Amino acid sequence: MPNVQDIQTVQTPEMAAWVQTIVAPMIQEQMEATRQAIRKDELGRLERTISEAQKRTDSRLDRLEAVVVELAEAQKRTEARVEELAEAQKRTEEQVAKLAATQLGMLERLYSLDHRVGLISNVLGIEAEGEAEEILAYTLEQKGCRLLEAPYALAVDGEVDVVTRVETPDGEQVYVLVDVKARARLKELRRWSSRLNDPDFQQQLAVAGVTKPFLPYFFGLRVYQVVDDEARRLGIGVLDPNGERVTPALLA
């Protein structure tokens, strides 16, 4: 479309006046309409762009709200679980406290029982030693031995339960040593034999005035049969409340 300036270069004065009066305003109006249409079109595109962006934003917000709701529910479940764990912990601590109290009670009862067992053992030990002294004196008299001193206990490497000095029918003086048990077991017999043959133990006896030869005995209120056979092999005499079961050999 020719512009106003191009028209003016070829127009007559009358045409120029006509152009200025009628054509120019029409051209300006058309140009303004074009500019408005362009602006409207751009505005529409802008509005559509903003609308699409708003829709996307709304969609994201909806998803975000859904996530927030899920997180809130998860938080509630977590808090509920924490409360359950706290209750469980409390119950566990109460049970542990009860168990500790029960254990303490059991330990106290065991201590009391050990004390009673110890007292019973002491009573049995004293009874067994008294019985051993009587049976030993009777046995030695039957063998023709003469007691030169009253039986006694000697604290040497623990304790020798019964010690006494006797004179044999041949006129020889020997020391009789007796290990006393309520129940005479094989392992205790072997332990007694080991002590009797230990040079350190013999030295301690000598320091206490008890010297060889020894006449060793093993006494029990109850003696197991297997003890007799082993005692014969070891040369140790065996006594029970009925008397001598195994004759000892002299330990020189």
Domain boundaries, the chain: 126-246
What span, in angstroms and rounded, lies between the C-alpha atoms of 5 and 12?
A: 13
Q: How far is CA 75 from CA 6, 61, 65, 78, 89, in A?
A: 78, 20, 15, 5, 21
Pick the more confident residue, 106 or 172.
172
**Long-range CB contacts (< 8 A, 24+ apart) of 163-166?**
163/210, 164/136, 166/140, 166/215
User: Kind and range of the H or E element at 31?
Assistant: helix 24-142
User: Kind and range of the H or E element at 129?
Assistant: helix 24-142
What span, in angstroms and rounded, lies between the C-alpha atoms of 7 and 107?
A: 125
CATH code of the domain made up of 126-246: 3.40.1350
Nearest of 199, 191, 174, 179 to residue 250 by alpha carbon: 174
**Of the given ranges (60-69, 79-88, 203-212), which has the lowest mean pLDDT?**
60-69
**Of the given ranges (12-16, 135-139, 197-201), which has the lowest mean pLDDT?**
12-16
Q: Residue 114 above 60 pLDDT?
A: no
Q: Residue 207 above 70 pLDDT?
A: yes
pLDDT of 7 reads: 47
Q: Could you give the maximum distance between any two Cα atoms of the chain, in Å?
A: 185
